[in-house]
């Protein structure tokens, strides 16, 4: 999924945890930012493999070409175990920090690996016009709207 979807879903999870009384708005925002940063591995992989640190090239390789191997260990079982252990250790020192890191990471994986197209929306929205090519599944746009609605609902309740 695209970075803004990770941000919105992370923020939605953060707002739910704010409502649960676990932490405040800054923590919810931090969770959303960290949920986006999990995908830094795509950029690092691209930069190291191609010896090219162009953000646009890395973006297009991930967004359009879906290069094999761009998802590093952090997106797989080893990363899951490492991040769970890291979150647990951090939790021992700061419950809020541990919850933020775990929630950011798990929300990211939930978007990447769960089949969100059970809503059955077909097609993609191709957007060109900048160096950053977009090929957004329409079901992802649907979920972005749902996430925004959920965030707004939680903010006004
Ligand atoms: Zn990802």
Helices 3-19, 25-37: inter-axial angle, 10-degree rounding: 150
Residue ranges per domain, the chain?
Answer: 3-156
CB atoms within 10 A of CB 110: 15
Encode pLDDT of 73-94 as tens digits: 899 999 999 999 999 999 999 9
pTM to 2 decimals? 0.93
Encode pLDDT of 19-39 as tens digits: 999 999 999 999 999 999 999
Residue 157 CA to ligand 1 center (angstroms) comes to 31
Tell which wins on pLDDT, 58 or 129: 58
pLDDT of 63 reads 82
Residue 71's pLDDT band (cuts 50, 70, 90):
confident
Residue 95 CA to ligand 1 center (angstroms) comes to 25
Residue 67 has pLDDT above 80, yes or no: no
Encode pLDDT of 123-155 as tens digits: 999 988 889 999 999 999 999 999 999 999 999
120 three-state secondary structure: coil
Let me know: does 46 contact 67? Beta carbons within 8 Å. yes
Helices 95-113, 25-37: inter-axial angle, 10-degree rounding: 40
pLDDT of 106 reads 98
Long-range contacts of 46-54 (CB under 8 A, 24+ apart): 46/70
Residue 68 CA to ligand 1 center (angstroms) comes to 13
Segments of 6-133 assigned E as strands = 124-127
Q: Report the greatest alpha carbon distance in the chain.
A: 49
Residue 72's pLDDT band (cuts 50, 70, 90):
confident
Residue 5 CA to ligand 1 center (angstroms) comes to 10
pLDDT of 12 reads 98
């Amino acid at each position: 999924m695209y970075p803004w979807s990770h941000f919105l879903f992370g923020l939605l999870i953060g707002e739910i945890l704010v409502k649960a009384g676990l932490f405040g708005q800054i923590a919810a925002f931090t969770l959303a930012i960290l949920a986006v940063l999990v995908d830094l591995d795509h950029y690092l992989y691209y930069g190291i493999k191609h010896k090219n640190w162009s953000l646009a090239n890395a973006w297009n390789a991930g967004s359009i070409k879906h290069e094999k191997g761009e998802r590093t260990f952090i997106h797989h079982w080893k990363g899951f175990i490492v991040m769970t252990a890291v979150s647990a250790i951090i939790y021992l020192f700061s419950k809020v920090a541990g919850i933020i890191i775990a929630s950011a990471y798990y929300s990211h994986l939930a978007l990447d690996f769960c089949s969100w197209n059970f809503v059955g929306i077909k097609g993609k929205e191709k957007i060109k016009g900048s160096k950053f090519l977009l090929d957004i599944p329409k079901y992802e746009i649907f979920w972005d709207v749902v996430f925004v609605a959920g965030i707004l609902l939680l903010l006004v309740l």
